A and B are shown apart, each in its own frame.
Chain A
């Protein structure tokens, strides 16, 4: 009951603020770029009182005017939720909440890695790759076949590296063969062509894999058996590790394959950042993403950068697959949901923004985990997992259409 009242309040005054405040600011000839967002937030948090003050004093709106009322809005929502469902685990059990958040962050890192590949392709080639999920699938499949079928005994990390090379080669080859004609004027409508040809690649990869390896789910045993240890001691330990699990503060349990996957992803992120910001090629890539013509003038070959970007993008998806094939069962259509999630993340973070993709991944990971954990009806909580990300997406697009880190126009 409280929850619905609170939602009504938040949405109602939020809408009023978003409509009213920009008008007030426009009439007084003030900067309106943040007015809608700040108006919505202030309205949602404080209703008519805050809006009246805002309209009367019209202070200069910076990020503080978004973040502070935004936090207050979230607090109102959470209080109402707690008042409505006092017995909900998310209200009564803090260890449960922490576990959900940590689990969400751990998968969020990997979501972020995958979305990073998609955003890289978008920022350099200016196209959305619909075959991104299939690279994710291939990354996992390669690790499975390398370690289980072709070279039994091969160290999984070596297989991850080989799988990265293979997905890179497939991506780069595809770019040279099918996407390059877009830039040489051989294709009449490059935008539509890119959509169709990457869709085609998606089907081709998925069904070829299905034909070659069959539909039986595959899985790689966990890459590392962790050593048993407890810090500081067995009793009341802060960190306790067994071969299969990592336990923090006695309460938060994370299966060890997930920790491995998240650590691999973090290392890769570090490497990627170093590559993009510290090497000549990385800087060239970013230069092309900022201005194609200007980059070409300074002697960067945009065609090579395109190939590199598509290969790298595919490789990042492949690497997230390669680090997750020890966590999830792997089938040829495993990439479909992962790709859909990546689209949500990059729009949420801002199309073409690298930090946006990473932060977006974390947000979606945590929101999905909390949604699955906190939605009161157990029948629906997990069934709506794909919807939680969408909900956040809709909210962000309504309030900030460029995404969280998108370039302002």
Chain B
């Protein structure tokens, strides 16, 4: 899909090239993460793919065609491009921002409107509310979603993403990463993703390319990167706590046992049912769910001292939960945040309760690794 051959870029006034004879092949539908310390040439490499920088040597091939021989405007319209949130146009509404490339391509108004609505829905932003707002009226996470939606607007086969989640807080970042992976799984996009965060690289990438001083150090799957770092540099980048890093690679849904029944009571159940089930629950608490299985709250021994008869009346609010497509590392963060040894797992699309995941489950995974 994308083939990079001996790519070289030398910025005037610097004694070493920013990118030095870099070769890399990215297959169709693959997420390739370029990772490395600042100044390693990862962003420069990415910008040579859509020719925001012209290479001084080497060539980029897209589906076998030389990028340097394509019209640069056409080339860029066929490649989605996401940078940090500030790349949104502040004077345009969210709708106009997303419609940028379709407008350049001359789509008619109806088709544009339909596409914008579709993308906002996909990103979990209500089109009714957000279409006519401007970027300044959005939170950092929402802006980031708009940035991704804008890049997806004309359905380009290739996406370039330059630290797209760097400007948001860690919790929002984890959520966006999961959402983004979910959306990606539905599409068949080839993605080049630039980050300086090795954890993000391990989590997001099908392949990870580690760069150092403009040269490719290792190009492999995240597992290989953890198991067999090519040299001291990669080993240091990955860090010593590799078994914990592995938690980025495993999804919650891969290890839960779908024991929703064991850890939940229906909102209509009475005190007796709660007591009976509590005694069997290994975390000393139960999740309260409605008829559809949606999470309403939780009950434990203390809740039984309150007034009320049914589980629904006794339930305390739940502040922390993870979606089934989160990584184990995300659930670990949530547990540390909330101070509980477990966290409820919900379905990422419909939100119904699936199971709980405990600290013991995580420890077991680490030990196995």
A and B: bona fide binding partners: no
